[in-house]
Amino acid sequence: MTPGLVEAAVQLVGFLIVAFAFAEVGLATASRLRRFSYEKHSYDVSLENLEERLMTARVRRVDRERESRSWNGIRKFRVARKIDEGGDITSFYLEAHDGKQISSHQPGQFLTFSLKIPDQKRPEVRCYSLSDMSRPYGYRVSIKRVPPPRKQPDVPPGKVSNFMHDNVQEGDILDCLAPGGDFFLDITHSSPIVLIAGGIGLTPMVAMLNAVAERGFDREVWLYYGVRDVNEQVMVDHLTEVARQNSERFKFNMCYSGTDISTLPPDPDINRYGERVSVDLFKRTLPSSNFDYYICGPPPLMDSITHDLREWGVPDSSVHFESFGPASVTKTPKAEEVAASAGTNLTVTFAKSGEEFQWDPAAGNILAFALDKDIDIASGCRAGSCGTCVSAIKEGEIEYLKQPSQKPDDGSCLTCISVPKTNIVIDA
């Protein structure tokens, strides 16, 4: 073998050894990478499982705590602070009179008050949304003074709202039922949300926003708050501060229907619009329609927004609304179906007076029908949550427009969310 050949053979062997070594290292690295990727995947899956289990445990704990601290019937609360928010709205901070812990509530729920007003035959029952998230100190409600209707200036102004403003003072004791209602934000989810408030409809939205802020803005929030002018707006300093601290996750939009916004001092944390809140505005400002929507405001705003969201292709399951009156019950497709199924040839008899009437489906529910016929049934939320309008059914059957939060005893019904299924006799 010539020296040249020997050198070539040595080089070849050397090359093969180096190539083999590289192949070994490559294979080992690939196998390690595979193992690492598999382990990372398993780790991710276990982490997800763990997070899910933690979330379930947290929800169960919150539910258990809520149940253990909730109460049946009336509980006494002391007005700890009374704050004028402007815009004819006053906030009342309430502490449990017994000094014990209060039940936590879901952001969006309301408290039901049973108020003894002097010269009044029986207590007046009204619901007020909790305007802050669950806090250890107690509850906060924010109440707007209700004037007589514009077209009937001579009738008395709102009984309870004005009584709260004018007569209830710090230190006074009020009777309340436990928080309730099924219009609330599920804080265990993190899907992006749009909060839509008209006027005093802001109260449940502030509770929802504060609950998200407390969780470090684990979801994106867009708030559209509609008022006529700056005199009507409340809690704007608080909302602006939340927007300033969380500009990436919280977009604060103010809509003025009766103000030239060029006259307002600029504020980088507020997007101002000189128009009503509308789906048209959402189309111009939101990145997509892919949100959960929470709406509370006067009936025309709620009607137009819910209608136009449906037209925009937003599924009904993503639209949640509360009206500070009976509208929220009868507007759902299910309720409309049940109401339409109640025949027109049914009779409703009121046992105490013995009066019998032909059922009128246009009344919407038995309570409204009774009040229209001057039959006195006490009522509160008119949404099936507070239980004030419960009445015994002496004969016949009713059907619910929506499932009550708490079913009354057999033989009774919540008249505000029911219609007759057969001829009925009511103990009223």
Q: Which residues here bind ligand FAD, judged by CB under 6 A?
A: 110, 126-129, 141-144, 146, 148-149, 152, 155-162, 181, 200, 203, 322, 324-325, 381-383
Q: Supply angle C-alpha 248, 289, 52, rounded to 5.
A: 65
- Nearest distance in Å: CB 153, ligand FAD: 9
- Nearest distance in Å: CB 82, ligand FAD: 14
**Residues forming beta bridges with residue 79, ordered by sequence position:** 94
- Nearest distance in Å: CB 150, ligand FAD: 9
Report the amino acid identity of residue 59.
Answer: V
- Nearest distance in Å: CB 246, ligand FAD: 24
- Nearest distance in Å: CB 410, ligand FAD: 26
CA distances from 392 to 204, 253, 308, 409 (A): 32, 47, 40, 9
Minimum CB distance to ligand FAD smaller for 26 or for 148: 148
Minimum CB distance to ligand FAD smaller for 180 or for 420: 180
Residue 411 Rama label (left phi>0; alpha psi -120 to 50; beta): left
Name which of 283, 274, 270, 420 is nearest 357 in CA terms: 420
- Nearest distance in Å: CB 175, ligand FAD: 15
Minimum CB distance to ligand FAD smaller for 113 or for 359: 113
Minimum CB distance to ligand FAD smaller for 225 or for 324: 324
Minimum CB distance to ligand FAD smaller for 151 or for 284: 151
- Nearest distance in Å: CB 328, ligand FAD: 8
Minimum CB distance to ligand FAD smaller for 201 or for 420: 201
Minimum CB distance to ligand FAD smaller for 120 or for 290: 120
- Nearest distance in Å: CB 371, ligand FAD: 12
Position closest to ligand FAD via CB: 158
b/e 389-416 (16+ beta carbons within 10 angstroms → b): bbbebeebebebbbebbeeeeeebbbbb
Could you tell me if 128 and 113 are in contact, meaning their C-beta atoms sit under 8 angstroms apart? yes
CA distances from 338 to 310, 322, 418 (A): 21, 20, 9
CA distances from 128 to 109, 125, 245, 256, 352 (A): 9, 10, 29, 25, 31
Minimum CB distance to ligand FAD smaller for 157 or for 298: 157
- What single-letter DSSP state applies at residue 11? H
φ/ψ (deg, to 5) at 359: -65, 135
